[in-house]
Amino acid sequence: MIDNEYAYEIDFNFDLIYLENLVLSWAKKNKELKRHQRLVEEDTYLNSIKEKFPLLSSIWNYYDIFPFSVLEPHIDAKRYCALNIPIRGTAGSTTSFYKLKGESKLRYDNDRVLNWVDSDIEKVYEFELTKPTLIKNDIPHSVVNGPTRRIILSWSISIDYTFEEAKKIFKDLPLDNE
């Protein structure tokens, strides 16, 4: 089980078949959201999960990365951490975390709601997303995808919580599926 300053695996059995169907069939678009964002309130199952984990925000994202693609180092904007749930094709992909070396040079991307990192960075940790995992995304991180299409549901944690606070809450919550 991963439990460090960058990632914390959550021991909870999400209905991955349901989530995959939700992500792959979602066509409805709220004009006030970005292309990759959706509202939790529009789905009964997601609402039931949010009731169990009230620190989850009202918005979930989906990310679809093609085989052998790279999502360059970036820092998510408007959130400190997120619960990333692997849906399909995460085996063979790597999420890496970095520390900045020197001055911070960032470029904001309004469409993706993130800051591209143009600074010198040094890799400090990497892992393969195979289980639902709380990740710290207010520091530089990147994804190098493997040989298959990679789809994840990335559920923002409310901006009221840092990674460390959210991790403690997840550790203290009973994570049964009853």
Model confidence pLDDT, tens digit, residues 117-169: 999 999 999 999 999 999 999 999 999 999 999 989 999 999 999 999 999 99
Closest CA to 172 of 15, 52, 51, 26: 52
pLDDT tens profile 93-123: 999 999 999 888 999 988 777 789 999 999 9
Residue 38 identity (one-letter amino acid): R
How far apart CA 94 and CA 77 sit, in angstroms, is 21
36 has pLDDT over 80: no
pTM summary value: 0.88
Other CB atoms within 10 Å distance of the CB of residue 26 = 13
CATH fold of the domain at 7-172: Jelly Rolls (2.60.120)
177 has pLDDT over 70: no
Residue 162 identity (one-letter amino acid): T
Percent over 70 (pLDDT), the chain: 91
Beta pairing, strands 133-136 & 94-101: unpaired
The Cα angle at residue 107 between residues 104 and 113, in degrees rounded to 5: 115
In this prediction, residue 145 carries a pLDDT of: 96
